[in-house]
Structure 1
Amino acid sequence: MTEITHHSQVWTYRTPKARLLLWGGWLALVALFVWCWQVMTRDTIWFFVADAPRQAADIGSRMLPPRWSYMSELWLPLWDTINIATLGTIGGVIMAVPVAFMAARNTTPSARILRPIALFIIVASRSINSLIWALLLVAIIGPGLLAGIVAIALRSIGFVGKLLYEAIEETDARQIEAIEATGAGGAQVLSYGIVPQIMPAFWGISVFRWDINIRESTILGLVGAGGIGLKLQASLNVLAWSQVSVILLLILATVVLSEWVSARMRHAII
């Protein structure tokens, strides 16, 4: 008969070495957090921090009641803001479509040259905030709506291009092969095999980006790129807090309305 030996070793979720490494990692993370906190608060004046609640309450009291009579001066800047977002989105989508097709592995004409260039354009666009684009463009082409429109368009290229090229890569290859089996050329495969599959995603991405651009375009006026942000900057400069409250409420209402419109449009499309 064979004897069954019983081992006294108890199973543990982690070995002693793994537990030691885990605790070491947590200690290193805490040390990193403490060091970062010291760097960030090195020049902090804590008296101002302690006084911040009183200052916030004071500014809040000055913002109430809102100066509703100022609303009549905000409709035109608000319309400019909506135009900046809409035209910038259209321009960004138009430029993003060829970039997306060049970035997608299954549609790029050159995987070694054009695809890296397209991916670089997408990364560069997404890396720079629209406010920074507006700041640069105001210095290049001057203040006004054009700088805001171009800034929104340049920022939108990366967002639309990335999501669209991922949608292109996820297309059903069987449908494309069926089109190719009929003897269709490259343009016909693109028109009948790929484009119909990505159109719902294309419209959904475009509407979603327009909704984002509505929010981003409201602050471009802070750097001179037009829109309701110019009125906000002017009111802040003269400490007209009752006007600031009206502008903020109008921006909030506009963003909520654009979110509702965007959701309804995406639901209808997708």
Structure 2
Amino acid sequence: MTTETLTPRWQFRTPKQRLLRWIGWFWLVALTVFCWEIMTRDTIWAFVADAPRQAADIGDRMFPPAWAYINTLWEPLWDTLNIATLGTLLGILFAVPVAFLAARNTTPSVYFVRPIALLIIVSSRSINSLIWALLLVAIIGPGLLAGIVAIGLRSIGFVAKLLYESIEEIDQRQVEAVRATGASGVQIIDYAIVPQILPAFWGISVFRWDINIRESTILGLVGAGGLGLQLQASLNVLAWPQVTMIFIVILATVVISEWVSARVRQAVL
């Protein structure tokens, strides 16, 4: 008997691990098939088969774009920018105190105040801005105000979450140094915490503004003003060349906002 026969072969997984792995894959495939059956239960496959032809037909109708229609879009575009900007400012106004209340090293109470602040953050992030707009249009009526408040409510959770994580990651030695001078709680925040989180704050704010530009373009679909309202009007009358022009304006706006956001974040970080 040779030495090679006596030497045990190393295996990446034991037989039991391989068996459990195959069982896991089997149930994953079974779950996928089950979910697919539920998702496609009411699907009319004749419509799906006809979808490429319908898409090609709509694509033919969308070109060439109605370039003259751009003059009608300047005011809705301005409304969209205002919704995104004012909504971002509104969200930041509420997000900053919520972030300080949620951070472990700045909250007045870890067991009472912090859970409430975290609940506000989770509630804000759990509901999409389009749903916020839908609710607000029903409450305060259609218009730009509903869009601004919807963007603000959505922004609170995003900004507060990233900001309170930045607060918890600050250098505590600077805080202790300022506290040793006899500074008050407000002075500690002003001289020890704010300077450390200020670059992150500007980066988060600009990043959220960039996201809000994209989200505010569709709020008009539920009556919250902006380009979405103009898009809905064009879709209602099947004016496909106008729809193409709106898409081009939205794309250009998002590209410019992305460029501005990247330059600002590069400057402050």
**TM-score bracket relative to the smaller structure:** over 0.9
Aligned twin of 1:267? 266
Matched, 1:38 2:42: no
1:47 aligns to 2:46 (yes or no) = yes
Look up the match of 2:190: 191
Residue in 1 that maps onto 2:101: 102
CA-CA distance at 1:117 after TM superposition = 0.4
Amino acid of the structure 2 residue aligned with 1:16? P
Structure 1: runs of 5 or more not aligned: 1-5
AA matched with 2:222 = V
User: Which runs of structure 2 are paired with 1:74-153 in the superposition (5 Å)?
Assistant: 74-153=73-152
**TM-score, L = length of structure 2:** 0.97
Distance in 1 (CA, whole Å) between partners of 2:88 and 2:186 is 26
Displacement after TM superposition at 1:241 (Å): 0.2
CA positional deviation for 1:11: 2.4
User: Which residue does the alignment assign to 1:173?
Assistant: 172
Over residues 34-66 of structure 1, what are the superposed CA-to-partner deviations in whole Å (9 max), with x where a residue is unaligned? 001111111111111111111111001000011
Q: How many percent identity over aligned positions?
A: 75
Q: Note the C-alpha offset of 1:69.
A: 1.1
Distance (Å, rounded) in 1 between the aligned partners of 2:16 and 2:34: 27
* Residue 158 (structure 1) aligns with: 157
SS of the residue corresponding to residue 14 of structure 1 reads coil
Cα RMSD, aligned residues only:
1.2
- Give the secondary structure class of the aligned counterpart of 2:111: coil
Equivalent-residue separation in structure 2 for 1:138 and 1:55 (angstroms) = 33
Q: Which runs of at least 4 in structure 1 moved beyond 6 Å after TM superposition?
A: none
Letter in 1 for 2:95: A
**Could you state the TM-score of these two structures normalised by the residue count of structure 1?**
0.97
5+ residue gaps, structure 2, are none
Equivalent AA in structure 2 for residue 213 of structure 1: N
Q: CA deviation at 1:10?
A: 2.5
